A and B are shown apart, each in its own frame.
Chain A
């Protein structure tokens, strides 16, 4: 067993278990903390996939900015009625798990049936080159310059929209 496989097993286990723990905890703050753990495990997996830039952005944007926003709103709103919010109806829980399990079985069957690794010969050098900030920046500023500008405009619109929606006198 080389170190990559051990790292993959550890990180994948952490990601899978933290996601399950996240949806089963009654306390929303604990859910948020386990989601942060899940994001860190995913950042490790991105590093394992040679995607350095995405791994760093994952930690800064997701685990940093977005989860701070979530925790801020969680602390701001009243969480003492948290236990009443957790669904008690067994039927809903049962059907939810059944539906998601069937979706998982279908997707897993498709993945193993298609088995993309059979037709794909991974090229380690090309993969390392693709994950650098240079390659991604080159794509962003040449072929994807219009989507990049639209994304900037979207962030501006979201900032203005969030301000207007969360304002005190909302009518």
Chain B
């Protein structure tokens, strides 16, 4: 751990976050958009674990635990919403799910 500079982990995390942002913007499948959000949450987790490890403090890893809890809850509710929308509109294309747009 100490032989690898901390910046490398942070750069990898930033890269994964930006790939997640690009994925949310270019993909039109609602489920894949959800997976890209999971990718962004994971890159944030990597940053938290990096700082926690290099500071020798376990509080960052406690926060990663909470982020994972929220991600699990979000995935369950989000996928249930997608199933409900698919049942009504027969599509998961987020360009066609625009009932809140006017």
Contact = CB atoms under 8 A, between A and B. Distances in A.
A111 B58 contact: no
Given A23-B26, A49-B49, A66-B72, A31 B7 contact: no
Interface in A45-82: 45-46, 48-51, 53-54, 57-58, 61-62, 65-66, 69-70, 73-74, 76-78, 81-82
Interface string A9-49: 00010011001101100001001100100110010011011
A59 to B, nearest CB: 11
A32 B73 contact: no
A8 B26 contact: no
A103 B5 contact: no
A74 B27 CA distance: 15
Interface of B: 1-12, 14-23, 25-29, 31-32, 34-36, 38-39, 42, 45-46, 49-59, 61-62, 64-66, 68-77, 79-84, 86-88, 90-93
Contacts of B9: 45, 49
A81 to B, nearest CB: 8
A125 B10 CA distance: 22
Contact of A66 (B7, B18, B38, B65): B38
A100 B42 contact: no
Q: Is the contact region of chain A dominated by helix, strand, or loop, or is it mixed?
A: helix
A155 B69 contact: yes
A5 B9 CA distance: 12
A61 B27 contact: no
A9 to B, nearest CB: 9
B15 A16 contact: yes
B7 A115 contact: yes
Contacts of B21: 96, 99-100, 103
A163 B83 CA distance: 11
A161 B7 CA distance: 40
Contacts of A140: 62, 65
B23 A51 contact: no
Contact of A155 (B6, B58, B73, B81): B73
A115 to B, nearest CB: 7
A155 B70 CA distance: 8
Interface in A93-118: 93, 95-97, 99-101, 103-104, 107-108, 111-112, 115-117
Contact of A136 (B42, B62, B90): B62
